[in-house]
Amino acid sequence: MVMLGDVAQSRDNNFNLIRMIAALAVLVSHAYPITLGPGAEEPLEALTGRTLGSLAVAVFFVISGFLIAESFARARSWQDFIVARVLRLWPALIVSLLVVAFLMGPMVTTLFPGAYFTNPAVWTFMVKNAALATPQYSLPGVFENQPYSNVEGPIWTLFYEVVCYLGLFAAGLLGLLRRQWAMSMLIAAFAGLWLLADIYQPALHLKIDKTLDLGLPFAVGTLMWLWKDRLPLTLWGVVGLLALTALLATTPLYGIMLTLFLAYTTFWAAYVPDGGLRAYNRLGDYSYGVYIYAFPAQGLAVWLSGPMTPFENMVLALPLTLIPSMISWHLLEKPALALRRHPVLARSRAL
């Protein structure tokens, strides 16, 4: 029997492929509102009560909860942990914002160049989106006559990713990641808050509401890390959780069970199937690039070709997304991650 704790010690897994599939699932999901307008029903929405994109984002957060907990446990210091998170998140994001605002934006805007570049919204687009807390989704004159005028979409989740990082960072500093039961009880309490909010639907601030929604899969991923040495990965486990989730579909526990099913299935798929699937790792991790470039590329596809179906948008936007994503990984993201081991940064963290 395969135990999660045994296989998690190896870097030989399918996480790169799973993250790529999840990023492409977000692209597929967004093709519907981008071509048909806000309110268009997205894939899986009627069946599961969640869009394909929201399920894919949950997978991202599940993986993050597990791997970020592992990263904190292995980090030589809390400074190392913070540097690693900054280098993974911001360099690629900032470059993507520059590409969208200063390369694509001037090309597609309805404004003259002088009016575009002197518009304050161009500059606040950079500042707000790099800061994450209050994203700005539009640029002046860009895609304004299209079914969906926003130029950015899923980057709003990055703020909550950072919130989850900070929560785990605080738990790590308090020693809770070394206290299995204490951390598990804290996660159970968080799940209880999520359940109460889901049942009673109180008028929460949007950021609190989204922190609960996205914090739940992150917390479940962390919980699986805590219990990895006692957690077997079996296909019967996947089937059993799927059946239980279906049985509870009309109860308040559905959301939690769906998250548990997604989490368990993700880790089963990451570590159990091997062979040729592992060859994907030779390509690199293009998922973050796909995540941050897909939405503007999909809008650009509509600008280039006019009205289209969601499927046509997926096909046309895919190469427009993959090219900058591949460039981002090989020329920016991978070198940025390597900076963690640079002697200058190492010395500065030692001071």
* Res. 308: pLDDT tops 90: yes
**Cβ atoms of 162 and 89 closer than 8 Å:** yes
Averaged over 144-167, what is the pLDDT? Answer: 97
Percent of residues, the chain, with pLDDT higher than 90: 88
Q: Pick from 214, 196, 207: which is nearest to 60 by CA?
A: 214
Averaged over 284-300, what is the pLDDT? Answer: 97
Q: Quick one: pLDDT at residue 60?
A: 98
Q: Quick one: pLDDT at residue 347?
A: 53
Rounded to the nearest integer, the mean pLDDT of the chain is 94
* pLDDT tens track for 232-267: 999 999 999 999 999 999 999 999 999 999 999 999
Q: How far apart are the C-alpha atoms of 202 and 208, rounded to whole Å?
A: 11
* Res. 54: pLDDT tops 60: yes
Q: How confident is the model at residue 345 (pLDDT cuts 50, 70, 90)?
A: low
Q: How confident is the model at residue 276 (pLDDT cuts 50, 70, 90)?
A: confident
Eight-state DSSP code of residue 178 = G
* pLDDT tens track for 15-41: 999 999 999 999 999 999 999 999 898
Q: In the structure encoding, which two tokens stand for residue 200, read together?
A: 């009673």
- What is the count of structural domains for the chain? 1
* Res. 349: pLDDT tops 80: no
In this structure, the chain runs to a length of 351
Averaged over 81-97, what is the pLDDT? Answer: 96
Whole-model pTM above 0.75?
A: yes
Averaged over 145-173, what is the pLDDT? Answer: 97
Domain of residue 120: give its range. 2-350
Q: Quick one: pLDDT at residue 10?
A: 84
Per the listing, tokens 């206290």 go with: 179
Cα 128 → chain centroid: 19
